[in-house]
Amino acid sequence: MTQPTPTKPVLLTVDDDPGVSRSVARDLRRRYGADHRIVRAESGADALEALRELTLRGEPVAAILADYRMPGMNGIEFLEQAMDVAPHARRALLTAYADTDAAIQAINVVDVDHYLLKPWDPPEEKLYPVVDALIETWRAVGQRPVDEIRVVGHRWSAECFSARDFLARNSVPYRYHSTDEPEGARLLEVAGASEDDVPVIITTDGGVLRNPTDAEIAQAVGLTVDPVADFYDLIVIGGGPAGLGSAVYGASEGLRTVLVERQATGGQAGQSSRIENYLGFPDGVSGSQLTDRARRQAAKFGAEVLTARDVVALEARGSARVVRFGDGSEIAAHAVVLATGVAYRSLDAPGVAELTGRGVFYGSAATEAPACAGQDVYIVGGANSAGQAAVFFSRHAATVTVLVRGPDLEASMSHYLIKQLDAIDNVVVRTGTEVAEACGDGHLERLVLSDRTTGEKQTVTAGAMFVFIGAAPRTEWLDGVVVRDARGFVPTGPDLVTGGAPPPGWSLDRDPYHLESSVPGVFVAGDVRSESVKRVASAVGEGAMAVTLVHRYLAEQ
């Protein structure tokens, strides 16, 4: 029997200038014509019609390249509508140099993957690398029907929020059903569960989990939780930017590398709606996009990534560095990189602890964005993470109020974010203000705000509150093994040498390397390191630098 010919993925271009339209189609056909079908249109309306026809015929659209300046419907407007028709297609904007600023500012609206300046000669340097990246990302994400995990729970259940947040941060697709809806009630009955069992998770093969732990969820949905070996060259503890940087560089340089993450790769940076000052991404990149790329890059070089594994102890046994998990199991390595990052500090006000996960959230909690539609949302904190969250939730909520204890934002937030917040109509910044109390019957309904200067209190209606108030390291498990400072951060290198003497217990003739802790062969990178720069770029750099020092340490053994 003759097999049907596989459908070639489509590359769609739209430009109102016929000459430019033919030129870009010609260049694309020259490089990609053998494996892709090139479709061109000369207006946004024609391109949308072409997309609809392709969708109806079941032809996959891999990438769309749209001109910014088009009459009737510009490129931004077209791409915004195109997302509804072909949501899996990757998107790039063609723009003249004079329109670069406008294009970058508008890019957040439609989550464009790249933009290209016209002219793009030579295409080998300016066009093809961008299109290669679009196609690679599309292939990785795919356009295949995805079997979805189903989560059944209550809107205001902290346990349900935790389960959905875990799945989302680990890029596991799922569909949420409330027990208040007929489908949610039906699924509970089919699963033989009750409302007391929520969250109930139904896996793609029909398995049922009742109020599971993160580790149980990870195991059920196919995330890697168990190491394949007992001994490695390098163990990286923590999956934020620093840890991912170490995993990529360690594995790419031939070290048998395993990364261990307690919850989800990306850390705090992975929850950022958009990072706009990271080198090489002029139009910004979301934390999840950056994390996904880094995770795939680490896997490409052979690094193992273990999820939902809680490290509870570190021990030096001769030349081995042994890591113990919460279940009592162990793995060992020649060297370790501590990249555990930091956690947001708890907001110490009456009612907050009781309502956490029920309208009060730490970090951006992007899964809650749809529920914030029409609500008054409050962001607590004045650093970049708070500013990024305010920009993100402004697209969903009726109002967003940023509460800052200090007199202004200039001391703690990047200038570009302050300008963005000033330009958003439904965002208000209240300085000199703190939360005195969180109130509500089973979920957050009101906040009591206090003016730090006058002491005057005001009660406001609140649909959700997201807290970003500084950070603390989770390093108690290192007590008695690795030297920590008074705040729990881990000093390294020269900071350990006082009066020319190495730290207590130091066994080598040399002083600790720059990122080395008080235990030889245990290195520290990122926010958990004492006096580190709390930026994504510096964390990635330290993660890479730590691997260089690991090689130097291994050469001594």
Q: How far is CA 166 from CA 150, 160, 219, 221, 271, in A?
A: 13, 10, 13, 11, 11
Task: Collapse the DSSP code of 16 into the 3-class scheme (helix H, G, I; strand E, B; otherwise coil) and give the result.
Answer: coil
- Distance of alpha carbon 306 from alpha carbon 265, whole angstroms: 9
According to CATH, what is the number of the domain 231-343+472-556?
3.50.50.60
Instruction: Give 320's contacts (C-beta < 8 A, 6+ positions apart).
Output: 231, 332, 333, 334
pLDDT for 3: 43
Greatest alpha-carbon span in the chain: 83
What are the structure tokens assigned to 267, written together? 């850390």
Within 57-181, residue ranges assigned H as helices are: 75-85, 100-110, 123-126, 128-141, 158-169
* Strands 200-202 and 376-380, sheet pairing: unpaired
What are the structure tokens assigned to 138, written together? 């599309």
Superfamily of 10-141 according to CATH: Response regulator (3.40.50.2300)
- Distance of alpha carbon 514 from alpha carbon 494, whole angstroms: 6
pLDDT for 417: 92
CATH 3.50.50.60 in the chain: give the residue spans: 231-343+472-556, 352-469
Task: Collapse the DSSP code of 159 into the 3-class scheme (helix H, G, I; strand E, B; otherwise coil) and give the result.
Answer: helix
pLDDT for 108: 55
Q: Tell me which DSSP letter residue 325 carries.
A: E
Give the count of beta carbons closer than 10 Å to the beta carbon of residue 453. 10
254: left (phi over 0), alpha (psi -120 to 50) or beta: left
- Thinking of the domain 149-221, which architecture would CATH place it in? 3-Layer(aba) Sandwich (3.40)
- Distance of alpha carbon 126 from alpha carbon 102, whole angstroms: 20
CATH 3.40.50.2300 in the chain: give the residue spans: 10-141
CA dihedral 423, 425, 426, 431 (to 10 degrees): 60
Residues pairing with 320 in the sheet: 317
Q: Cβ distance 37 to 9 under 8 Å?
A: yes
Give the number of C-alpha atoms closer than 13 A to the C-alpha of residue 331, restricted to the C-beta side: 28
Phi, psi of 125 (to 5 degrees): -100, -35
- Distance of alpha carbon 188 from alpha carbon 169, whole angstroms: 25
Environment class of 17 (CB within 10 Å of its CB; exposed 0-12, middle 13-18, buried 19+) = middle
Check: CATH 3.30.70.100 for 352-469? no
Environment class of 400 (CB within 10 Å of its CB; exposed 0-12, middle 13-18, buried 19+) = buried
Environment class of 203 (CB within 10 Å of its CB; exposed 0-12, middle 13-18, buried 19+) = middle
- Distance of alpha carbon 350 from alpha carbon 363, whole angstroms: 19
- Distance of alpha carbon 242 from alpha carbon 524, whole angstroms: 9
Stretches where the chain sits below pLDDT 50 are 1-4, 145-146
- Distance of alpha carbon 200 from alpha carbon 183, whole angstroms: 13
Give the count of beta carbons closer than 10 Å to the beta carbon of residue 23. 18
Q: How many residues does the chain have?
A: 557
- Distance of alpha carbon 262 from alpha carbon 343, whole angstroms: 12
Instruction: Give 3's contacts (C-beta < 8 A, 6+ positions apart).
Output: none
- Distance of alpha carbon 472 from alpha carbon 495, whole angstroms: 20
- Distance of alpha carbon 367 from alpha carbon 165, whole angstroms: 6
Nearest to 131 by CA among 123, 140, 121: 123
Q: Cβ distance 342 to 335 under 8 Å?
A: no
Could you tell me how many helices (H) and strands (E) the chain has, helices first? Answer: 16, 26
Report whether the peptide linkage leading into residue 87 is cis, meaning its omega lies within 30 degrees of zero.
Answer: no
Q: 176-192 burial string, b = 16+ CB within 10 Å, else e? A: bbbbeeeebeebbeebe
* Strands 311-317 and 200-202, sheet pairing: unpaired
What are the structure tokens assigned to 225, written together? 């939780």
Q: How far is CA 398 from CA 310, 357, 358, 395, in A?
A: 39, 21, 19, 8
